Each structure stands twice: as C-alpha cells, then as structure tokens.
Amino acid sequence: MSVIHVDKNSFQQEVVNSSKPVLLDFWASWCGPCRMVAPILDEIAQERSDIKVCKVNVDEQPELARQFGIMSIPTLMVFKDGKVVNQTVGARPKGQILAML
C-alpha cells in the first residue's frame, strides 16, 4: 500500500475510522527532517499491509495541525481505534518508527 495524503475532509474516514492502526506523519515540504523521514515511511507503507501510513501537510491543513497541538515537525503519531496511542517528534530511524507500532 502507498502513503495516503489526508486532509480535514478525509481525516475521519482514513485515520479515526480505520480498522487498521495508522502511522500518521505531520510534515511540510520545506522541512529537512521531514524529507529524511519520507522515504522510510514509503518503505513501511510498502512492507506493512497490516497498517496504514498517512501524511498531513501542516501548511495545507493548519486546522488539523492545531487540533493535535503540532508545534514541531515531523511529528509521528500512531492511532489505534481512533485514538492516539503513541507520538514522537523529530526524524527517527526506521527501527524506532516501527517500534512505535
């Protein structure tokens, strides 16, 4: 599966109502650490059919960024059953990202 880009209109369906755990990345195109994490998230999305990998561009979706109190990016969150169960800020290696799940 590929990474799913979500906005305020698709967030409820793709993240909150997902039957699978969701790894959600809050990012921006100008953010260096975000660009470092992006290929790792693409890999995880391809390798793990048991989860969804979603991304929210904070510049295009400021309401979602505010809703979740995003102050620094990249912020990675894991949602299970519509609730945040894990969260980290900053670029992380693949092993640490997978450990969040």
Q: Is 54 among the residues known to form the active site?
A: no
**One of 6, 22, 31, 45 is an active-site residue; which one?**
31
**One of 6, 15, 24, 34 is an active-site residue; which one?**
34
Q: Is 34 among the residues known to form the active site?
A: yes
DSSP notation for 10-42: THIIIIIT-SS-EEEEEE-TT-HHHHHHHHHHH
pLDDT tens per residue, the chain (101 residues)?
899 999 999 999 999 999 999 999 999 999 999 999 999 999 999 999 999 999 999 999 999 999 999 999 999 999 999 999 999 999 999 999 999 99
Q: What's this model's pTM, rounded to 2 decimal places?
A: 0.96
58 contacts: CB under 8 Å, gap ≥ 6:
26, 27, 28, 64, 65, 70, 73
